[in-house]
Chain A
């Protein structure tokens, strides 16, 4: 109440800010009151993400983004050397500080001679999902001029463990 007394008389703007804050607090309160997500919900969210990774995996390898037969996977098997942990950074061929999505579009349009993806498209997000998934656990190093292989994969039928 002490605070209210000092704020209330100030100005009309001050008052409206206070009311807004109160409303936000109520909304936040209701969010807190919401029961925790169930395991089922969390599994669904992970599955949705992995679906995006799988879509990215397919786009990365099937050559459909280019016109000269090349796919991202030609040069970036398992997403390696896409270095998602280093973006944004200055990239010579972009000539500026750019993002992974800009670099993805550079690869699609220049070496692969395809059409750029819209930055907010499902396909672009899938590409980013795949690139980051193959570097899971790698420490982020924005701006760093570093090449990182994908996370080592030994699994799968016929492939021996290290």
Chain B
């Protein structure tokens, strides 16, 4: 636990009702007072080691032979060729670009080529044309959990915003159009909402503190850059619910870049997209050494890629970024400890 900047602190502490929980999660001196576990330490319970793959942010368009189709296909192909084969694939949202069923269907057809089971959560680009109707029809529940080799794996929908469209009289297409813009300043801050928080509480209620937990959301569970919704406004509540565990690994899409942070017992890593990379926002990174290199605009595959995550018996994770081009500094290329 280090380098939580003042900005992060201010960001968290402003969330209504979360200030006390925040103290419990992020201030190491307060952990013993609250009875919480250690900080990102390996879980004491031994699990059966496993590897899973992660893909995200394909942003497929409803245009025939669009170049992004090929990038997702390339990532799927890459994962299929891995030996040993990963146990499963998690997909962190934004299969489509404009929420059209045709985009989601195209993505599903490509993902169905995976030779292992996969689980998907929605991103805002999948969602705001029909409020997730087509997505749910194709991929099922927006939040879910399952156990694998002794670890508990959770996926949640973190892109929910309060209704900004009804009063403004926006059509579904206009609503989607606004959400498609990363810097949409009329759309509000994303979160998982009270219903999912209640579900999460019940979901982890009977799990012992030494259970290794992996949680996947579209947006990061820390206050990175709210302007681009590089945040989840009720992340402090999520982290508080998960604070009883010895260790939580959090992975997220949306940022289209390598980024890393630690929040109390939780280690967080951002993912590469298979569409386009995003430049770093104009704020300091909490861990400036864990980043990707500047991208070459002349190389359309630069900045893109997939991932595998190795999980050891003691729940030490290693995030392996599988960049399509020469993107990663040596320390990131070796894999990032989670």
CB-defined contacts of B61 to chain A, threshold 8 Å: 68-69
Decide yes or no whether A98 CB sits under 8 A from chain B. no
In the assembled complex, B23 has its CB within 8 A of some CB on chain A: no
The reply to whether B227 and A78 contact each other, CB–CB distance below 8 Å, is yes
Partner of B227, one of A73, A75, A148, A152: A152
Q: Quick check: is A3 within 8 A (CB to CB) of the other chain?
A: no
- Report the Cα distance A112→B279, complex, angstroms: 18
Q: Which of A93, A156, A158, A162 contacts B7 (CB 8 A)?
A: A162
B228 at the interface (CB under 8 A from A): yes
Q: Which stretch in B70-78, B296-304, B312-320 binds the other chain?
A: B296-304
Within 8 A of A (CB), among B1-56: 7, 10-11, 14
CB-defined contacts of A77 to chain B, threshold 8 Å: 181-183, 228, 278
Q: Report A-chain residues with C-beta under 8 Å of the C-beta of B66.
A: 68-69
Contact: A93 with B297, CB < 8 Å? yes
Contact of A157 among B14, B183, B186, B282 (CB under 8 A): B186
B329 interface contact, C-beta 8 A: no
Residues of A whose CB lies within 8 Å of any CB of B are 61, 68-70, 73-78, 80-81, 92-93, 106-107, 111, 147-162
Contact B282 A159 (CB under 8 A): no
Residues on A with C-beta less than 8 A from B278 are 75, 77
Does B222 have its Cβ within 8 Å of any Cβ on chain A? no
**Once the chains bind, are B181 and A157 in contact (CB under 8 Å)?**
no
Q: How far is the CA of A109 from the CA of B98 in the complex (A)?
A: 22
**Most chain B beta-carbon contacts within 10 A, residue among A78, A107, A149, A151:** A78
Q: List 26 A-B contacts (CB under 8 A).
A: A69-B63, A69-B97, A74-B59, A75-B277, A75-B279, A76-B279, A81-B279, A92-B298, A93-B296, A106-B297, A111-B297, A147-B279, A149-B279, A149-B280, A152-B227, A152-B281, A152-B282, A154-B226, A156-B185, A156-B186, A158-B188, A160-B11, A160-B226, A162-B7, A162-B10, A162-B11
Bound Cα distance from A155 to B185, whole angstroms: 8
Docked pose: A111 CA to B71 CA in angstroms: 14
Chain B positions near chain A (C-beta within 8 angstroms): 7, 10-11, 14, 59, 61, 63, 66-67, 97-98, 181-183, 185-189, 226-228, 275-283, 294, 296-298, 300
Query: Do A159 and B227 touch across chains, with their CB atoms under 8 A apart?
Result: yes
Q: How far is the CA of A56 from the CA of B166 in the complex (A)?
A: 28
| Cα–Cα distance between A69 and B68 once the two chains are bound (Å) | 11
A159 contacts B279, CB within 8 Å?
Answer: no
Q: Is the CB of A152 within 8 A of B283?
A: yes
Q: Are A80 and B7 in contact (CB under 8 A)?
A: no
Give complex CA distance A150, B281 in Å. Answer: 7
Please state if B300 and A157 are interface contacts (CB–CB under 8 Å).
no
CB proximity of A55 to chain B, nearest CB, Å: 16
Which residue of A has the minimal Cβ distance to B300? Answer: A111
Given the complex, which residues of A lie within 8 Å of B275, measured CB to CB? Answer: 74
Which of A74, A148, A161 has most chain B Cβ within 10 Å? A74
